[in-house]
Amino acid sequence: MAYEKKKAWSILLRLYHWAFALSIVALCITGFYIHDPWTNTVAEGSQSFVMTWMRFIHFVAGYVFTGAMLARIFLYIFGNKWERLPEQLPVTPRNIKNFFNTLLRYSYIKDDHDTDRLGHNVLAGMTYVAIIVAAVFQTISGFYLLFPEIGTWEVYGVMIFGSQQYARYIHHLLMWLFMIFAFIHLYLVIWNDIKEPEGLVSAIFTGVKFQHKT
Amino acid sequence: MADTANKTLDPRLNRRGFLKGCTMAAAALGLSETVVPKMVEAATSGQRPPVIWMHFQECTGCSETLLRGAHPDLANLILDIISLDYHETVMAAAGYQAEEALHDSMKKNRGKYIMVVEGSIPTKEDGIYCKVAGKTALDSLNEVAAGAAAIIAIGACATFGGVQAASPNPTGAVGVDKLITDKPIVNIAGCPPNPVNFLGTVLHFMTFNRFPALDQLKRPKFGYGRRIHDHCERRAHFDEGRFVEQFGDEFHQAGYCLYKVGCKGPETFANCPTARFNEMGVWPVSIGHGCIGCTEPAFWDTMTPFYERIPDVNIPGTGIIEDADRLGTQILGVTAAAVGIHAAVGIGKRLIKGKSGSDES
Ligand code: HEM
Ligand code: SF4
Ligand code: SF4
C-alpha cells in the first residue's frame, strides 16, 4: 500500500519541542541538586562552585524553558491547523469522537486509528495543554524564586503562592509532574510509533507524517 | 540636645544610651546618620504618641523580647518615647481600673493613638476562644481599631496567625490585617521579632509622620526587604557546595552551610544576619542552627519539618503525609508498573492474534 508524506509540524513547533524537552532534562537534574546537593566540597578554596554552577545552569535552562513555553502558546493561537488550541480539546463532535476512540485504542479494545487528523489525538492534545498550564505555574514560581524583590514578581508571587517557601514547594511538586509526564509521554509515543505507520517519532524531527494514499 | 533629652526622658536613660538606641534604629532603617538628630528631636519633643497595646491569643514573648533586651537602653527608649497607656502584662492597674485606663485613653486620644496588637484573633464560633473583660478579642479589636491612627501588628501571631493558626487551626485564628482593612497596618513579623524593627518603625512614624516603606505582606522593607540567605555569613559555603550533613559532624564543626539540615534562610525575609540579637552579635545561623523562617506567613505549616527543605505532602482525606520525593518515587514506580502491564498486554495480544495493529489492514 502506498503512503504519502504530509506536513504536520512547523519548524517552530519542532524547535519548541526540543528546547522544551532538553531544558526539562537539565532543569530536573539541576533542580534535584538544588533541592538536595549530593556532593560535598571538602577542600576549601578549591575553586569548586558546584552549587553556583548548578543554579546558573538551572536559570539558563529556565529561560530556554520559558521561551519554549511562550512559543507553544503562540502556536496555540497562530500555528497551523494541527497546532492550534481548538484542535487539542474535545470541543467539536469530531474531537469528542477521537477522544473516546483514543481511549478504546489505548485499552486495546479497538484497533482503527482516526485518519482525519494529522496532529495529536485529543487525549494527547489535552495532556499537552495541561502541561503548558503547569509550565506557566512553574515559570511564575521559578521567576518569583529568582527575583523575589522585584516588584512584579513579588506582587504576583505573593498573590499566587503566598510565600517563597510555598512557591518552592509547588515548584518542587511540579517537577515530579514533569518527570512522570515525560515517562508516560515517551512510552506512548513509542507505542504509537510501533502500532501506526505515521512515523510519529521521526515527525518531531522532520515535521512530516505518513498517511495512506487515498 | 543631650540635656534636652534628659528632661523628658527617664533619668536612668543616659545620653549615650539614648543616642545609641536612636543610631541603631537609624542604621536598621538604612537611614544616614544625619537623620539621627531629627529622630532625637522627634523622640524628645515631649509629644509621646499614645499607645494602646492589646494582647490576644499569644504567649507575651514579643513583649518580653522588647522589655528584657540585654541592652536596657533599647527597652527604656521604647518605653520612653511612647506613652504606653494600656498594656495588660506591664501595667500596674488591674480589673476595672485597667478597663478605665483603656477607655480614657481611647476617648482622649481618639484618632491619634497607635494600636499595637500582639497575638492572633480567633474567629470561629464568633470568637469565643479568647475573651478579655467579657469581650471577645474580635470585638475588642474592632472597637480599639476604630479610633486608632495606625496599627502595628507585632509577632508571628498578630501578623499571620502564628502557631494557633497552624493546620487545622481549631479556633480560626487570623492576623490583624485579615480583619481590619481601613487603617494603615504594619506587620512586624517574627517569633519573636527583633526589637530593633519595632523601634525603627515607631521612630520612623514619629520622625516622618508615616510608616516606612512596606513590602507586599505589609512588613517594613528596612527589616524584611531581603532574604536571610543573601546576607548570611555562611553563604560562601553554600555557593561552593560545602554543607553540614548532620548536626555535630565535622562539617558542622567547620561552620559550613546549614542548607541540608533544613535552614530556611533561602526563603525567609528578615534582617537577622545584619541586625542580630541580644547585642551580642548572635543570630541562629551564627551559632549553628538553621533559620526556621519565623517571619514568613504560615511558617508552622510551610517551614516544618524544620530540618527538611520543604513540607511533606498531605493528601486530604487519605491520612497520607509523606515526604515529597518519596511520594514522587512511589508514583513513578506505580506508573512504570502500569506501563509494563500495558506493554505486556499489547505484546500478548499480538502473539495470540499473530497480527499487529492497523498498519497492514
Ligand atoms: C520543568 C521545569 C523546572 C523544574 C523541573 C525545576 C525544578 C526545580 C527544583 C526541584 C528546585 C529545587 C526546589 C527545592 O528546594 O525543592 C528548583 C529551584 C529553583 N528553580 Fe526551578 N525548575 C524548573 C523551572 C524553572 C524556571 C523556568 C525557573 C525560572 C528561571 C526556575 C528557577 C528556579 C529557582 C530560582 C530556584 C531556587 C534556586 C535557589 O536559589 O536555591 N526553575 N527548581
Ligand atoms: S509571635 Fe511568637 S513570641 Fe510573639 S506572642 Fe506569638 S508565639 Fe509568642
Ligand atoms: S546557612 Fe542558611 S541562610 Fe546561610 S547560606 Fe546556608 S542556607 Fe543560606
Dig out the grid coordinates for B215 from the structure: 513590602
Supply the ipTM of this predicted assembly: 0.89
Stated pTM of the model: 0.90
Tell whether the model's pLDDT for residue B359 goes beyond 50.
no
Instruction: Say which DSSP state A38 is in.
Output: -
List b or e across A126-146, with b for residues whose CB sees 16 or more CB atoms inside 10 angstroms: bbbbebbebbebbbbbbbbbe
Q: Omega into B266 within 30° of 0, i.e. cis?
A: no
Contacts 24+ apart (CB under 8 A), A31-36: A31/A58, A31/A171, A31/A172, A31/A175, A32/A175, A34/A58, A35/A172, A35/B309, A35/B310, A35/B325, A36/B260, A36/B309, A36/B325
Nearest residue on chain A to B356, judged by CA atoms?
A195
Q: Do B313 and A41 touch (CB under 8 A)?
A: no
Looking at the fold, whether B209 and B299 belong to one and the same domain comes out as no
Dig out the grid coordinates for B315 from the structure: 493528601
Sequence-distant (6+) residues with CB within 8 A of B116 are B51, B52, B53, B54, B151, B152, B153, B154
Dig out the grid coordinates for A175 from the structure: 517537577
Residue-level pLDDT at B27? 78
Residue B216 falls inside a structural domain: yes
Residue B301 falls inside a structural domain: yes
Q: How far apart are CA B283 and CA B287, in angstroms?
A: 7
Nearest residue on chain A to B300, judged by CA atoms?
A165
Q: How far apart are CA B130 and CA B171, in angstroms?
A: 9
Sequence-distant (6+) residues with CB within 8 A of B326 are none
Residue B357 falls inside a structural domain: no
Q: How far apart are CA B294 and CA B315, in angstroms?
A: 25
Sequence-distant (6+) residues with CB within 8 A of B50 are B82, B83, B85, B105, B108, B109, B112, B113, B114
CA neighbor of B81 nearest in space, from B25, B29, B28: B25
Q: How far apart are CA B177 and CA B280, in angstroms?
A: 33
Q: What is the pLDDT of residues A152-206, one digit of tens each?
A: 899 999 999 999 999 999 999 999 999 999 999 999 999 999 888 888 899 999 9
Residue B353 falls inside a structural domain: no
| Chain B: closest CA distance from residue A71 (Å) | 29
| Chain A: closest CA distance from residue B53 (Å) | 28
Q: How far apart are CA B32 and CA B17, in angstroms?
A: 19
Quick one: A45 exposed, middle or buried, by C-beta within 10 A (0-12, 13-18, 19+)? exposed
Tell whether the model's pLDDT for residue A103 goes beyond 90.
yes
Nearest residue on chain B to A33, judged by CA atoms?
B241
Residue-level pLDDT at B92? 82
Sequence-distant (6+) residues with CB within 8 A of A147 are A153
Q: How far apart are CA A87 and CA A91, in angstroms?
A: 8
Residue B62 falls inside a structural domain: yes
- From chain B, the residues in CB contact with A44 under 8 A are 240, 242
| Residue B298 · residue A162 · CB < 8 Å | yes
Looking at the fold, whether B141 and B263 belong to one and the same domain comes out as no
What does each C-alpha distance from B196 to A38, A191, B211, B220, B265 come to in angstroms? 38, 64, 15, 12, 20
| Residue B40 · residue B1 · CB < 8 Å | yes
- The number of C-alpha atoms within 13 Å of B287 and in the hemisphere containing its C-beta is 8
> What interhelical angle do A164-195 and A11-35 show, nearest 10?
130
Number of domains observed in the structure of chain B: 2
Dig out the grid coordinates for B154 from the structure: 507585632
Looking up residue B55, the CATH number of its domain turns out to be 3.40.50.700
Looking at the fold, whether B256 and B214 belong to one and the same domain comes out as no
Section B40-53 average pLDDT: 80
**What is the residue with the minimal CA distance to atom 41 of ligand 1?**
A34
CA neighbor of A35 nearest in space, from B184, B262, B318: B262
Q: How far apart are CA A119 and CA A126, in angstroms?
A: 12
Looking at the fold, whether B255 and B116 belong to one and the same domain comes out as no
Cell 522627634 sits at which residue? B42
Sign of CA dihedral B55, B58, B60, B65: negative
Structural domains in chain A plus CATH codes: 3-37+47-212 (1.20.950.20)
Looking up residue B237, the CATH number of its domain turns out to be 4.10.480.10
Q: Omega into A148 within 30° of 0, i.e. cis?
A: no
Percent of chain B scoring above 90 in pLDDT: 58
Q: How far apart are CA A16 and CA A128, in angstroms?
A: 13
Q: How confident is the model at residue A214 (pLDDT cuts 50, 70, 90)?
A: low
| Chain A: closest CA distance from residue B242 (Å) | 5
Dig out the grid coordinates for B81 from the structure: 518615647
Looking at the fold, whether B95 and B242 belong to one and the same domain comes out as no
Q: How far apart are CA B12 and CA B180, in angstroms?
A: 38
Q: What is the pLDDT of residues A12-58, one digit of tens each?
A: 999 999 999 999 999 999 999 999 999 888 777 777 899 999 999 99
Picking from B221, B241, B262, the residue at the C-terminal end of a domain is B221
Looking at the fold, whether B192 and B242 belong to one and the same domain comes out as no
Residue-level pLDDT at A19? 97
Q: Do A41 and B241 touch (CB under 8 A)?
A: yes
Picking from B221, B243, B267, the residue at the C-terminal end of a domain is B221
Picking from B186, B221, B256, the residue at the C-terminal end of a domain is B221
Residue-level pLDDT at B5? 44
What does each C-alpha distance from B121 to B146, B153, B178, B243, B289 come to in angstroms? 16, 11, 10, 40, 31
Looking at the fold, whether B80 and B207 belong to one and the same domain comes out as yes
Domain, as residue range, for B214: 2-221
Residues near ligand 2 (Cβ within 6 A): B 58-62, 118-119, 155-157, 162-163, 191-192
Residue B257 falls inside a structural domain: yes
Looking at the fold, whether B110 and B29 belong to one and the same domain comes out as yes
Dig out the grid coordinates for B126 from the structure: 464568633
Nearest residue on chain A to B269, judged by CA atoms?
A164
Q: What is the pLDDT of residues A84-99, one digit of tens each?
A: 999 999 999 999 999 9
Looking at the fold, whether B211 and B256 belong to one and the same domain comes out as no
- Give alpha helix (H) positions in chain B: 2-8, 15-29, 36-44, 61-67, 72-81, 95-108, 137-146, 155-160, 195-208, 221-224, 235-239, 250-253, 272-275, 299-302, 324-353
| Residue B39 · residue B203 · CB < 8 Å | yes
Q: How confident is the model at residue B2 (pLDDT cuts 50, 70, 90)?
A: very low
Residue B317 falls inside a structural domain: yes
Strands B131-132 and B150-154: unpaired
Q: Do A49 and B215 touch (CB under 8 A)?
A: no
In the stretch 85-144 of chain A, residues with CB closer than 8 A to chain B read 106, 108, 111-113
Q: Do A165 and B264 touch (CB under 8 A)?
A: yes
Looking at the fold, whether B309 and B211 belong to one and the same domain comes out as no
Looking at the fold, whether B248 and B317 belong to one and the same domain comes out as yes
Looking at the fold, whether B261 and B169 belong to one and the same domain comes out as no
Q: What is the pLDDT of residues B3-37, one digit of tens each?
A: 444 455 555 667 777 777 777 777 777 777 777 78
Cell 549530593 sits at which residue? A38
Residue-level pLDDT at B1? 38
| Chain B: closest CA distance from residue A21 (Å) | 18
Phi and psi at B293, nearest 5°, equal 75, 35
Q: Do A52 and B346 touch (CB under 8 A)?
A: no
Residue-level pLDDT at B86? 87
Tell whether the model's pLDDT for residue B296 goes beyond 60.
yes
Mean pLDDT taken over chain B: 87
End-to-end CA distance of chain A: 10
Sequence-distant (6+) residues with CB within 8 A of B130 are B56, B57, B119, B121, B122, B136, B137, B171
**What is the residue with the minimal CA distance to atom 7 of ligand 3?**
B259
* CA of B290 relative to ligand 3 center, distance in Å: 7
Q: Which helix (H) or strand (E) holds A31?
A: helix A11-35
Residue B162 falls inside a structural domain: yes
